[in-house]
Amino acid sequence: MSGQERFAAAPDAAAIEGIARATIARLPAAFAAHLGEIVLQVEEFADDETLASLGIEHPLDLSGLYHGRPIGEKSSMDTGSLPDRIFLYRRAILEEWVETGVRLDDLVAHVTIHEIGHHFGLSDDDMHALEDSVGP
């Protein structure tokens, strides 16, 4: 995808998910092998409870969220817990896309990799390096 001109209407959740899954498919094998049962969900907005827990007032201020325990904090004794989840919030992503003019696929890849970075407990610098390794 090359930008805004490619869409006659706002991309739907399936389009956002498709970009995110393509990004995940390009991850280096060392990362992809440790994503396990992570669930990817695209929703319109974060719910009020999520926003309140993060101290965020407006739903367009949150484009993605990792919900789970980073790999380094997990234990073999963990049982019965829900799978880790990555949420992408479509409306916030689209708002940022329109405001910044960044290519949609680049923006979705950035948000996806940032949330995957939280799964691995990566620093912001490490997340940027991972993003660079995935490329366009």
Query: Is 1 domain-assigned?
Result: no
For residue 130, is pLDDT > 60? yes
Does a structural domain hold residue 113? yes
Total number of residues shown for the chain:
136
Residue 87 resides in a domain: yes
Q: Is the pTM of this model over 0.95?
A: no
Q: Is residue 4 part of a domain?
A: no
> What residues have CB less than 8 Å from 100, skipping those under 6 apart?
107
Per-residue tokens: 24: 């995940």
Q: Which domain holds residue 119?
A: 10-70+82-134
Contacts of 127-130 with C-beta under 8 Å, sequence gap 24+, read: 130/27, 130/28, 130/31
CATH code: domain of residue 60:
3.30.2010.20
Is 107 among the domain residues?
yes
Q: Is the pLDDT of residue 56 over 60?
A: yes
Domain count, the chain: 1
The DSSP bridge partners found for residue 66 are 86
Mean pLDDT of 61-80: 73
